[in-house]
Amino acid sequence: MADALRVILLLALAAALLTTATLLLTWWMEPLRRMKRAMAKSLGAPAEAEAWSPAEGRAAGLDFDGGQVAVLWNRGATGLVYAFDEIEGGEVIVDGHVVARVRRGEQRKALDVMAPDAEQVILRLMFADPRHPEFELALWDAAERVQTTSAAEALRLGRRWLSHLDALLKG
């Protein structure tokens, strides 16, 4: 009887350890957490400005001290790091229409349209890279889970990113 109880307790302990290990692995591999680790690794430091789209598996981050921007896709498994002088500009696109733009050598087109009922808000970053000239990231998509909780918040995040880019391009 004591041996049977010992076996049952060992099986219960093994099941508890396996469950705990599975929960820890699930937590560690959660897409947003995985992308944040990949972003920190690619920049070599925590990003000072970030934009995430866990549903798309895409992210972008700025490191002002290191003078670089990182873009990730494929849930953080693939990405590129650009120096600030390789940035050509950025756009905020609402429901397929460019509503704000910053480009090297051009005057800024300020975000003067607020669309709280927008279905989609996209941040497009443009680079001096013939293989990967642009990178798009959904800041808001009514159909998918993204970083922001509303179209208005996505537009504020997009405006903040364009302000960063504008300062970098002028500096």
- Is a pLDDT exceeding 80 seen at residue 67? yes
Q: pLDDT digits over 16-55, tens only?
A: 888 888 888 877 777 778 888 999 999 999 999 999 888 8
Q: Are 159 and 100 in contact (CB under 8 A)?
A: yes
Q: What are phi and psi of 128, to 5 degrees?
A: -85, 65
| pLDDT at 145 (0 to 100) | 64
For residues 64 and 32, what is the distance between their CA atoms, to the nearest angstrom? 22
Domain boundaries, the chain: 32-170
Question: Dihedral of CA 162/167/170/171: which sign?
Answer: negative
| pLDDT at 147 (0 to 100) | 67
Q: pLDDT digits over 106-116, tens only?
A: 888 777 777 77
- pLDDT bracket for residue 1 (50, 70, 90): confident
| pLDDT at 55 (0 to 100) | 82
| pLDDT at 118 (0 to 100) | 84
| pLDDT at 82 (0 to 100) | 96
The hierarchical CATH code for the domain 32-170 is 2.30.29
Q: State the DSSP string of the chain.
A: -HHHHHHHHHHHHHHHHHHHHHHHHHHHT-HHHHHHHHHHHHHSS--SEEEEETTTTEEEEEETTTTEEEEEETTTTEEEEEEGGGEEEEEEEETTEEEEEEETTS--B------TT-SEEEEEEEES-SSS-EEEEEEEETTS--S-SSHHHHHHHHHHHHHHHHHHHH-
